[in-house]
Amino acid sequence: MAEKQVIFITGANTGLGYEVVKSLCKASKAYDILIGSRSVEKGEEAAAKLAKEVPETPSTLSVIQIDVTSDESIQKAVDHIKSKHGKLDVLINNAGGSFDRELQAGKLTMREAFNKSWDLNITGAQVLTSLSMPLLLKSSDARLMFVTSGTASLAETENFDHPALARINASPAAGWPKDEGMNPITAYRSAKTGLNMLMREWYRLLKNDGVKVWAISPGFLATGLGGIGAETLKSIGARDPSEGGNFMKDVVEGKRDHEQGKVIRVSMIQSW
């Protein structure tokens, strides 16, 4: 019997991360899926919900506490994977978030919002990936993914030919301060653009190690990321989060192996 692939997904108790786990659970292949969650309780709730939604799954689920903004938490998570599994086949750096609305509401200073955006979306992924590398290199088919954003393309900041691009690239009226509307994204999209470069650096570093590397751009999905509710997001074009989960399962299963080192969308490569 073949050894199960060990898959660790951060931020897996909710949103896109949850949908990735659910999609993997529906696969015919059996995996050891590690649900990374800041709260063990919320992780266990997610695992229990998945057990009800996909009772026939051949995969096993377990919860690992991880806060990617804490080096101590990251080290404990990696140590746990090492002691229990001895290897890691797939690392999905999914944990992320936006703090632009908190900045807009005056709950964070500009420096706080930008530093938190970078720390959560990039630094956490960098630390976790670095500490996990010895375990990934023990895999015969290691895969490393960074979840980025469709808003992070520099080239597409000049495009207005799609409703979503027309909205996020629109220039507000003259004057100061600027009104960025209900879904400001400057700090978030800037951080995710940086994450794309981080992916390219890992692709460069690991090119001779056989580790497959991507940035995953799952598309505009109705998750809790924007802080304005799924229904509001759907009203402006967001798709069901399950589409993102199925897309990332395809990457795990090798269907996008010919596009390593790229920012990939469901049906295309995202421009830089």
| Catalytic residue chosen out of the listed positions 37, 98, 132, 149 | 149
- Give the single-character DSSP code of 221: B
Whether the per-residue pLDDT at 51 is higher than 70: the answer is: yes
Q: Is the pLDDT at 228 greater than 80, yes or no?
A: no
Query: 17, exposed or middle or buried, with CB in 10 Å at 0-12, 13-18, 19+?
Result: buried
pLDDT at position 180 is: 79
pLDDT at 207: 96
pLDDT at 225 over 60: no
234 carries an active-site annotation: no
Q: Mind giving me the DSSP string for 54-89? A: STT--SEEEEEE--TT-HHHHHHHHHHHHHHTS--S
Catalytic residue among 22, 132, 153, 188: 188
Q: Are 230 and 224 in contact (CB under 8 A)?
A: yes
CA angle 59, 62, 64 (to 5 degrees): 145
Please say if 192 is a catalytic residue.
yes
Residue partners of 260: CB distance under 8 A and separation at least 6: 203, 212, 213, 214
Is 188 annotated in the active site? yes
pLDDT at 25: 97
Report DSSP state, residue 240. P
Q: What is the sign, positive or negative, of the torsion defined by CA atoms of 119, 69, 12, 91?
A: positive
Catalytic residue among 26, 192, 249, 262: 192
Q: Higher-confidence residue: 43 or 167?
A: 43
User: Could you tell me the sign of the dihedral formed by the alpha carbons of 242, 244, 245, 250, in that order?
Assistant: positive
For residue 269, give the 3-state DSSP assignment.
strand
**pLDDT at residue 229 greater than cutoff 70:** no
Cα–Cα distances in angstroms (integers) from residue 233 to residues 167, 185, 223, 228, in the given order: 13, 14, 8, 7
- Hunting for tokens 């404990």 — which residue is that? 76
pLDDT digits (tens, 9 = 90+) for 56-91: 999 999 999 999 999 999 999 999 999 999 999 999
Burial class (CB in 10 A: 0-12, 13-18, 19+), 87: middle
What's the N-to-C CA distance of the chain in angstroms? 42
Determine what percent of the chain is predicted with pLDDT higher than 70. Answer: 92
Confidence of residue 182 (pLDDT cuts 50, 70, 90): confident
Q: What confidence tens digit (pLDDT) does each residue in 117-149 have?
A: 999 999 999 999 999 999 999 999 999 999 999
What is the pLDDT at residue 234?
57
Q: What is the DSSP letter of 130?
A: H
| 33 beta partners | 7, 61
Give the alpha-carbon dihedral of 248, 8, 35, 92, to 10 degrees: -40
Give me the half-sphere count of Cα atoms (radius 13 Å) on the Cβ side of residue 181.
12
What CATH number does the domain located at 5-264 have?
A: 3.40.50.720
Checking if the pLDDT of 237 tops 80, the result is no
Q: How far apart are CA 108 and CA 99, in angstroms?
A: 8
Other Cβ atoms within 10 Å of 101 Cβ, number = 19
Average pLDDT of span 32-38? 98
Locate 93 and state its tokens.
């750096």
Residue among 144, 148, 153 nearest 251 (CA) = 144
